[in-house]
Amino acid sequence: MESGEGKIEPGVTIELSEAQRRARRMRNIAIGGCLLGLVLVFYVATVVKIGPSMMRAQQMQGQNQ
Amino acid sequence: MSINDHIERDISLAMPADYFDLMKPRVMRLVVFTALVGMLLAPGPIDPVLAVIAVVCIAIGAGASGALNMWYDADIDSIMSRTANRPIPSGRITGDQALNFGMVLSVLSVITLGLLVNWVAGAILAFTIFFYAVIYTMWLKRSTPQNIVIGGAAGAFPPMIGWACITGSVGVESLALFAIIFIWTPPHFWALALWKMRDYDDAHVPMMPNAAGEKSTRAQMLAYAVLLAPLSASPYLLGFSGALVGALSFVLGLAFLWFTFRVWKVAGRDEKLSAEKKLFGFSIAYLFLIFALLLIDAITFRFSGAYLLNGFGA
């Protein structure tokens, strides 16, 4: 398991306890949710900010044709 | 202890709720509320989607500064009974985790607000986080009894940020909202400090009652309350709320003055310090009611073009 110099030997993995696994999973879900939220915020804000001018541009293009 | 034990011990058991606690949710609620009022009172159209985004950014920015505060103050938090159960002193989150969390949220909230709303609002949010985390937490809190007087500005900025989200500037009106919270903070906080003096003494934090004495603190609280009464009506005097709200706000300011007067008059002769506890309770209600009245007035104005009972029946 542990070598004399205090290093973990190759091939040895750390077994997480059930509580550690559960906490990590919950944190991952929370981070994923936050990132998804951030993407949605930027997407919706972009639509709100440039959407109306794009609609106007399209209407003017239609009138010119 | 083997390396495996070390690693097992270092693997975090922190849940998302622990990180949420780092953001001081109760402070965040007040920040959201006052920022929203600042936003609705400001002259100019509001896009509901961008308004929601702005409020969320302001809340997260406030939460980030809370996390940075808890990171820096973990040593004194563990000494004081009121704060001993916070995520870091209770061992649920490490200091490094809190620092990283606070820094990431600070940067994200400021950039998002700046890019999606405007950079004046983003800059004030950045300054607020800096002011709370660096000026108040790192510098003033442990070095001067005026800590919460100056540091109170951090809590007073949110309505100003809300106002800037709509107008892109800082008007005298938003300064009035700032002033109400700024002047309210010392008597509110010192009422708490007067009965938690022991805690602050143990942690060597120079709160006014410990540093200047209870008598001086009570006199200063009274002075702030005298200033707060007319300030409460300043939104009406500056023309961005109606006479009814102005009158009710003034009455609330007078009530605040009365509760503070009781604290000054009793002067600690009551061992239970019930005057201080009553003032602390009322001070929270005062701030909530003042901003709730302004919120009602702002919504009324946006829907009808007139404030509640403007000019008393005009």
Phi, psi (5° rounding) for residue B104?
Answer: -60, -45
| CA–CA gap between residue B165 and residue B51 (Å, rounded) | 8
Biggest alpha carbon–alpha carbon distance for chain A: 82
| CA–CA gap between residue B218 and residue B270 (Å, rounded) | 14
Adjacent-strand bridge partners of A2 = A8
Same domain, B207 and B118: no
| CA–CA gap between residue B245 and residue B233 (Å, rounded) | 8
| CA–CA gap between residue B169 and residue B172 (Å, rounded) | 10
The closest alpha carbon to B64, from B122, B20, B117, belongs to B20
Same domain, B216 and B136: no
Which of residues B170, B201, B221 is at a domain's end? B170
Q: Which of B1, B5, B8 would you mutate first to test chain A, the one with the most A CBs within 10 A?
A: B8
Predicted structure pTM score: 0.88
Is A11 in CB contact (< 8 Å) with chain B? no
In a domain, B5, yes or no: no
Same domain, B206 and B278: yes
Range of the domain at A22: 1-65
Q: Residue B116 is nearest to which of A6, A19, A45, comparing CB atoms? A: A45
**CATH assignment of the domain containing B136:** 1.10.357.140
The closest alpha carbon to B101, from B110, B89, B93, B111, belongs to B93
Is A17 in CB contact (< 8 Å) with chain B? yes
Q: Provide the ipTM.
A: 0.80
Indicate the number of domains in chain A.
1
Range of the domain at B189: 172-314
Q: Residue B4 is nearest to which of A1, A24, A26, comparing CB atoms? A: A1
Same domain, B178 and B57: no
Q: Which residue type occupies B104?
A: V
Same domain, B88 and B187: no
Helices B119-130 and B158-167 cross at an angle (nearest 10°) of 170
Answer yes or no: do B13 and A19 touch at CB < 8 A.
yes
**With contacts defined as CB-CB under 8 Å, which chain B residues touch A23?**
12-15
Same domain, B29 and B124: yes
Kindly indicate the confidence band of residue A1, based on its pLDDT and cuts at 50, 70 and 90. Answer: very low
Indicate the number of domains in chain B.
2
Judge residue B48's burial from the number of C-beta atoms within 10 Å of its C-beta, 0-12 exposed, 13-18 middle, 19 or more buried: exposed
In a domain, B8, yes or no: no
Same domain, B150 and B240: no
Which of residues B148, B170, B192 is at a domain's end? B170
Same domain, B244 and B121: no
Which of residues B154, B170, B186 is at a domain's end? B170
The closest alpha carbon to B160, from B192, B120, B210, belongs to B120
DSSP H helical ranges for chain A: 18-64
pLDDT tens digits, residue range B246-261?
A: 999 999 999 999 999 9
**CATH assignment of the domain containing B190:** 1.20.120
Answer yes or no: do B16 and A27 touch at CB < 8 A.
yes
pLDDT tens digits, residue range B172-225?
A: 999 999 999 999 999 999 999 998 877 788 888 888 988 888 899 999 999 999
Judge residue B113's burial from the number of C-beta atoms within 10 Å of its C-beta, 0-12 exposed, 13-18 middle, 19 or more buried: buried
Answer yes or no: do B16 and A1 touch at CB < 8 A.
no
**With contacts defined as CB-CB under 8 Å, which chain B residues touch A41?**
53, 56, 112, 116
What is the 8-class DSSP label of residue B15?
A: -
In a domain, B1, yes or no: no
Same domain, B33 and B162: yes
- CA of A50 to nearest chain B CA: how many angstroms apart? 11
Q: In the predicted model, is pLDDT for residue A64 greater than 90?
A: no
